[in-house]
Amino acid sequence: MSEAVCISDFENHAKEFPPKNTWEYVSCGANEGITLRENRCAFDRLRLRPRVLRDVSSIDMSTTILGEKIDFPICVAPTAMQKMAHPDGEIATAKAVSQAGTCMTLSSSSTSTIEDVASASSGLKWFQLYVCKDRDVTIDLIRRAEKAGFKAIALTVDVPYVGRRYAEIRNKFVLPPHLMLANYANYTNSYETGVKSRYDSFETLIDLSLTWDLIPWLRSVTKLGIVLKGILTAEDARLAVQYGVDGILVSNHGARQLDTVPATIEALPEIVSAVDGKCEVYLDGGVRFGTDAFKALALGARAVFVGRPVLWGLVYQGEEGVAKVLQIFKDEFKLAMGLTVLDVQKPVFDIVGGLKACREPVCISDFENHAKEFLPKNTWDYICSGANEGITLRENRCAFDRLRLRPRVLRDVSSIDMSTTILGEKIDFPICVAPTAMQKMAHPDGEIATAKAVDQAGTCMTLSLGSTSTIEDVASSSSGLKWFQLNVCKDRDVTIDLIRKAERAGFKAIAVTVDTPYVGRKYAEIRNKFALPPHLTLANYTNETGVKSHYASLIDSSLTWDLIPWLRSVTKLQIVLKGILTAEDARLAVQYGVDGILVSNHGGRQLDTVPATIEALPEIVSAVDGKCEVYLDSGVRFGTDAFKALALGARAVFVGRPVLWGLAYQGEEGVAKVLQIFKDEFKLAMGLTGCCSVQDISRDMVAHEMQYSQ
């Protein structure tokens, strides 16, 4: 290739050069990569405000970090296993960093030993540390760093669990057999082997029970400076100061841990404000230009740290490649200093889209993409279309993406309990299955397959009135918790008969849909002249032809709040209202004595431009004031979405389309996989935000992205 002149040149070369496995390990982010993209986009949204006619004939870029002088404030972040990028690995990096006159942070998961890196150069070095369950191992690593002349420990606090990175899971990533994690070679075989397959045994090596008491313990065993790496909230920053750390590295682990946390440059100002000068603050994540470093310093950082660009430099030309990367950063930073002053303004945030999936499903969008290819167009359009232009359909997703998680660190998360109760019934995790009609269009086993998978997962299924399997057949297929979704018919005897069937079948509640006095206008269905395929029937209706001929001839459009006392008079089943979107109706629901409210816009299928459910949730939670349970559906695609909903006051969330995509993929097994992914992602979100139980999930763990633009 031609001579690299910017960091993206090194990136593009690296993408072509190493094995795909290595490239994806280095470059992937957690989940859909929203935070990965935001780490860059957030820098791009910041505008420099240059000043003129100032004497810039002499520019001094030097500064100090923890009292040690560096020639410019762009340092090297810890990145593991650098010999995957170049045979000289960390040795080459250390030499280049020393030559550049800045600081290198050596990863404890390096493929070169602490001692070899130290002897390779005399430059300033920090050591990145994970605290092991075996504290003797941790102490030995610290002693080795001390003897080797390292000046500080960068203690990583945002990895009680390893983030879920789809590319690594698909590739079944392991360290290549000719390499080893060199710093663990002196310990037992279990350590050496364990860290080679990080996903399988990370939890056996790293202490998940860490709390803030770790800091005094570290102070008792070393005099090295202590920097906490992985702080993203003002609350944890204040605790860090309280416990006497020397520095904070604002970091989201290169977006490799918990997706939808804020970009580090977004989180930086609140952390700088919180520490109030009582310790130094640094930043990593997304730095690709000297101007990025300038922006971070303008917002209060002492220095920035770069990770992936160093690996790209290694791939390009080993030590010389890293030296070129650092020189480009240095030149760009100097130019930014010469052409401007430390003054930054921030425009409004934008929205970032998703990533493409691949064949083996590891995330919900993989199932969606498979279903889009597999299902007949008529069926796909019926399942996935929204009302009118689909504005609410899109907003159901985008509104979740605009929320940022605010993770807390150094909380004992060695034991996580995801269980909760809904209407007094225990479920293993707070992600339930919403009612979706005509599931046999997605798979021949339809609702039966779903019921079995939901029972196995230990959560709740809501059976649609418009199901293609009978209430009785679904009930007999599994013993799990079930609710029945009900539209009230003009013929009240039909409604009573349906309720009696649900009662006899052991259903625990009725989810009464109240947002469909008329059917929403869905362009795709109208164009396709959608009808139920002739080989299927709506199994719970005796007069099925009436349903097919016209929905409006069956459903009662004259319903008022008097419906609730009537329902109370005919059943002892608990009553949940599905389709509430306003505080006014929520207060009426409480007044009429319902047991629960399902905040729902019918998956964006009824009235376009109503709010996304996650937007409507807070006002409804506030309106009911704890007098009934509140749930949410629509747009939930990640375990983090469920976490956000619970943080905003929901008791549980319900998912619809993802279950149909799971059915289309592999029937019962497909639904089970979908639910397991949600469960795994939700547990990870809990672990990485410091929550041991759903009761620990609190409102202050979620913020709108606009909070970071003020």
Q: How far apart are CA 352 and CA 705, in angstroms?
A: 12
Q: How many CB atoms lie within 10 A of CB 341?
A: 16
Question: Does residue 533 belong to any structural domain of this protein?
Answer: yes
Question: Three-state DSSP class for 558?
Answer: coil
Tokens of 579: 């389709």
pLDDT at 140: 95
With 50 as the cut, is the pLDDT of residue 342 above it? no
pLDDT-derived band at 340, boundaries 50, 70, 90: confident
Question: Does residue 284 belong to any structural domain of this protein?
Answer: yes
DSSP bridge partners of 632: 599, 653
Q: Are residues 300 and 415 in the same domain?
A: no
Q: Are residues 132 and 256 in the same domain?
A: yes
Q: Pick the last residue of a domain from 340, 375, 392.
A: 340
pLDDT-derived band at 359, boundaries 50, 70, 90: low
pLDDT at 694: 98
> What mean pLDDT comes out for the span 163-178?
84
pLDDT at 203: 63
* Residues 619, 623, 625, 627, Cα dihedral to 10°: -120
Q: Pick the last residue of a domain from 301, 323, 340.
A: 340
Q: Which of 566, 423, 443 lies closest to 499, judged by CA? A: 566
pLDDT-derived band at 267, boundaries 50, 70, 90: very high
pLDDT-derived band at 98, boundaries 50, 70, 90: very high
Q: Are residues 566 and 628 in the same domain?
A: yes
Residues near 333 by Cβ (< 8 Å), separated by ≥ 6?
61, 72, 73, 74, 290, 291, 293, 294
With 60 as the cut, is the pLDDT of residue 348 above it? no
> What mean pLDDT comes out for the span 299-315?
96
Q: How far apart are CA 300 and CA 266, in angstroms?
A: 12
Question: Does residue 350 belong to any structural domain of this protein?
Answer: no
Question: Does residue 358 belong to any structural domain of this protein?
Answer: no
192 compared with 38, residue with greater pLDDT:
38
The share of the chain scoring above pLDDT 90, in percent, equals: 75
CB distance 93 to 310 below 8 Å: yes
Question: Residue holding tokens 């008969």?
Answer: 497
Q: How far apart are CA 309 and CA 289, in angstroms?
A: 10
Q: What is the number of structural domains in the chain?
A: 2
Residues near 549 by Cβ (< 8 Å), separated by ≥ 6?
none
Q: How far apart are CA 228 and CA 406, in angstroms?
A: 16
Q: How far apart are CA 638 and CA 297, in angstroms?
A: 34
Q: Would you put residue 626 in left (φ > 0), alpha (ψ -120 to 50) or beta? A: left
Q: Any idea what the CATH number is for the domain that residue 14 is in?
A: 3.20.20.70
With 50 as the cut, is the pLDDT of residue 349 above it? no
Q: Which of 13, 253, 443, 602 is catalytic?
A: 602
pLDDT at 198: 46
pLDDT at 710: 66
Q: How many CB atoms lie within 10 A of CB 125?
A: 24
pLDDT at 557: 86
**Stated length of the chain:** 710
Question: Three-state DSSP class for 575?
Answer: strand
pLDDT at 190: 43
Q: How far is CA 184 from CA 107, 156, 175, 207, in A?
A: 12, 17, 14, 16
pLDDT at 542: 53
Tokens of 668: 């019962």
Q: Are residues 82 and 128 in the same domain?
A: yes
pLDDT-derived band at 160, boundaries 50, 70, 90: confident
Question: Does residue 268 belong to any structural domain of this protein?
Answer: yes
544 compared with 629, residue with greater pLDDT:
629
> What mean pLDDT comes out for the span 239-244?
97
pLDDT-derived band at 706, boundaries 50, 70, 90: confident
Q: Which of 466, 460, 503 lies closest to 485, judged by CA? A: 466
Question: Does residue 52 belong to any structural domain of this protein?
Answer: no
Q: Is 602 a catalytic residue?
A: yes
> What mean pLDDT comes out for the span 680-688?
97
> What mean pLDDT comes out for the span 228-234?
97
Q: Are residues 443 and 327 in the same domain?
A: no
HSE (CB half, 13 Å, CA atoms) of 195?
24
Question: Does residue 429 belong to any structural domain of this protein?
Answer: yes
570 compared with 534, residue with greater pLDDT:
570
Tokens of 441: 């269009």
Q: Are residues 297 and 372 in the same domain?
A: no
Q: How far apart are CA 366 and CA 359, in angstroms?
A: 7
519 compared with 675, residue with greater pLDDT:
675
pLDDT at 19: 83
Q: Are residues 379 and 330 in the same domain?
A: no
> What mean pLDDT comes out for the span 95-122?
97
* Tens-digit pLDDT profile for residues 581-615: 999 999 999 999 999 999 999 999 999 999 999 99
Q: Are residues 448 and 555 in the same domain?
A: yes
> What mean pLDDT comes out for the span 221-237?
97
With 70 as the cut, is the pLDDT of residue 49 above it? yes
Question: Does residue 290 belong to any structural domain of this protein?
Answer: yes
Q: What is the value of pTM for the model shown?
A: 0.84
Which of 158-172, 280-294, 524-538 has maximum average pLDDT?
280-294
CB distance 133 to 213 below 8 Å: no
> What does 221-268 look like in DSSP terms, one character per residue?
H--SEEEEEEE-SHHHHHHHHHTT-SEEEE--GGGTSSTTSPPHHHHH
pLDDT-derived band at 480, boundaries 50, 70, 90: very high
Least confidently predicted of 9-18, 286-295, 323-332, 496-505:
9-18
Angle, helix 639-647 to helix 657-688, in steps of 10 degrees: 70
With 80 as the cut, is the pLDDT of residue 458 above it? yes
Residues near 612 by Cβ (< 8 Å), separated by ≥ 6?
392, 395, 396, 398, 399, 400, 601, 634, 635
Q: Which of 251, 289, 284, 264 lies closest to 8, judged by CA? A: 289
* Tens-digit pLDDT profile for residues 629-682: 999 999 999 999 999 999 999 999 999 999 999 999 999 999 999 999 999 999
Q: How many CB atoms lie within 10 A of CB 385?
A: 22
With 70 as the cut, is the pLDDT of residue 552 above it? no
Question: Three-state DSSP class for 632?
Answer: strand
Q: How many CB atoms lie within 10 A of CB 338?
A: 12
pLDDT at 204: 67
In terms of residue numbers, what domain contains 84?
7-43+69-187+197-340
With 70 as the cut, is the pLDDT of residue 388 above it? yes
pLDDT at 346: 36
Tokens of 315: 């791939």
Question: Three-state DSSP class for 62?
Answer: coil
With 60 as the cut, is the pLDDT of residue 515 above it? yes
Q: Are residues 447 and 394 in the same domain?
A: yes
Q: How far is CA 50 from CA 54, 331, 335, in A?
A: 11, 17, 11
> What mean pLDDT comes out for the span 72-93?
96
β-strand 460-463 against 303-306: which pairing, if any?
unpaired
* Tens-digit pLDDT profile for residues 207-221: 888 999 999 999 999
Q: What is the mean pLDDT of the chain?
A: 90
CB distance 623 to 617 below 8 Å: no
Least confidently predicted of 7-11, 50-54, 333-337, 662-666:
50-54
Q: How far apart are CA 704 and CA 680, in angstroms?
A: 24
Q: Are residues 336 and 371 in the same domain?
A: no
Q: Are residues 388 and 260 in the same domain?
A: no
CB distance 382 to 525 below 8 Å: yes
Task: Return phi, psi of residue 192, to 5°.
Answer: -65, -45
β-strand 68-70 against 63-65: which pairing, if any?
antiparallel
Q: Are residues 374 and 335 in the same domain?
A: no
**Amino acid letter, 499:** I
